[in-house]
A and B are shown apart, each in its own frame.
Chain A
């Protein structure tokens, strides 16, 4: 087991820079999730840790040792691929033992490790099948098994659940979480799915366009996003962003008015320096709207569609062409009328400047 340190890690493909100086500290035994939209560099970062891509600049340390020039095979890491990457012509048992056999590991030890992995993942009865005879979920389980057998210092997962259907994804997510508890090994997990990030991670690393936007515990990112990107990325459905204008600053904070309805004014506990009249974004999560009259101000929206899921309802609405989603846990009749008046509570709203930085 080992922790990792990334110092100013840069990756260039030719003249094109895809990772712009990543700094990151991962503690021993931590479950870290790299999350971000496609093309943000999360997989590249993971592949650099694995050694499958060279590091253009900066250093990667595993267990306190710089591994830039260490062969991938010598880094004591194991990787689980999105496409499983099982050896198609070998039985599952041989898939698990192949690497150890090729390295002259004693037969008894190999068998012990394979049996151990099979026990952990409860895959004993399928060991003599070939990957082609297995379902996607089973294949991914064996791909994880192959990683376990290596007894690595660090597990790397590259979007391992992307090829599975929704139900299986939830199931495998729970299994991976259980695996981490059981093994206690450092795990780095790449995904574009914020739900996976939120449910699995001890620590989430949000990336955008080759830059780390924020690092923190899942709820920290949810409660206290550093910028508009992170605020929009973490949470489902997404945070609503309403255009707003700074009206002025007083002792209790900054007062803004909505562009869609300038009568709606809200004073937020923000102490950053702001100029009156400047344009900002007011962020509010769908689940943080309150009943009319219960918040600091009310606003009236036009309802487009209401989705009733049983335990909750989502109302898709607009306020003078600005879309927003409102969660109404108590309501099963949100779509009956054309308009809806709901309350906003200043304590649950965020303010972002024109560049997307959080105003605190």
Chain B
């Protein structure tokens, strides 16, 4: 190897060392741990103890089901909402645009614990503002934390509130990259505003929206904060337990690292698979 390259690697060495120790090794090691029975001392190698349990574990299927339900409802709703928000933010009629842009982005900046606490208050059964509003139109109060379906809805609402603005800002950047004269040409072509949105804006935004969908899928697959902090650790009775939460319980409550590693790899594999599916469905027609 030429001296030049050796010197370059010498400079890179500290980074590579840290990268290998804290990134590469844990990834490999956790994969290896998923084949260890970690409930005995010392740990024993076993091909099937964790993976075999995984495919038969009702708790795993419950968490997988919950996660996928949240994914299938929350991601499309949030992306649609984010697109609408981005279009509104991009409107030349809007005054004080930077203010709105910040307001939409702000939820991401707010601390998770603080936001969870506020949500718990707002959705409180007896004195939450949401139930007050529901009551004011004559509907019965909703037990947001005790009813499984309502708790799922609450998680979906919370996640959507937190990330819609973030995605809207990304989509806004995409909107602003569409040249204005394309719309002028469409206007002269007698194409109405709504048609312009569906036939010009949406197709041109497709790559950006796809990017947001993939990001959101990865995020939702790992969903942990909301069910942990807002709906009482996946409550009621596991109704909002997600894969992330199951992983946490196995790894850090039961200290069963082998099973937790198997779940972690399942989450990663599912996220990759769903993202690839998205990219495949949304690929450019050649």
Contact = CB atoms under 8 A, between A and B. Distances in A.
Nearest to B284: A89
A237 interface: no
A83 interface: yes
Given A83-B179, A85-B179, A98 B190 contact: no
B283 to A, nearest CB: 13
A72 B184 CA distance: 9
Contacts of A81: 181, 184-185
A83 to B, nearest CB: 6
B33 to A, nearest CB: 47
A87 B179 contact: no
Given A83-B179, A89-B204, A102 B199 contact: yes
B204 A99 contact: no
B134 interface: no
Interface string B152-192: 00000000000000000000000000010110111111111
Contact of B199 (A83, A85, A98, A150): A98
A73 to B, nearest CB: 4
A103 interface: yes
Contacts, number: 61
A146 B191 CA distance: 13
Contacts of A83: 179, 181
B120 to A, nearest CB: 45
Contact of B187 (A52, A87, A88, A89): A52
Chain A interface residue number, banded: 20 to 34
A98 B204 contact: no
A52 B182 CA distance: 12
A317 to B, nearest CB: 44
Contacts of A146: 185, 189
Interface of B: 179, 181-182, 184-192, 195, 199-200, 203-204, 206
28 contacts: A50-B184, A50-B188, A52-B188, A73-B187, A73-B188, A73-B189, A73-B191, A77-B188, A79-B184, A79-B185, A81-B181, A85-B184, A86-B182, A86-B185, A87-B185, A87-B200, A88-B204, A89-B200, A89-B203, A98-B186, A99-B191, A102-B189, A102-B190, A102-B192, A102-B195, A103-B190, A146-B189, A150-B188
Interface of A: 50, 52, 72-74, 77-79, 81, 83, 85-89, 98-99, 102-103, 146, 150
Given A77-B188, A88-B204, A102-B192, 10 more contacts: A72-B188, A73-B190, A81-B185, A87-B182, A89-B204, A98-B189, A99-B188, A99-B190, A102-B189, A150-B189
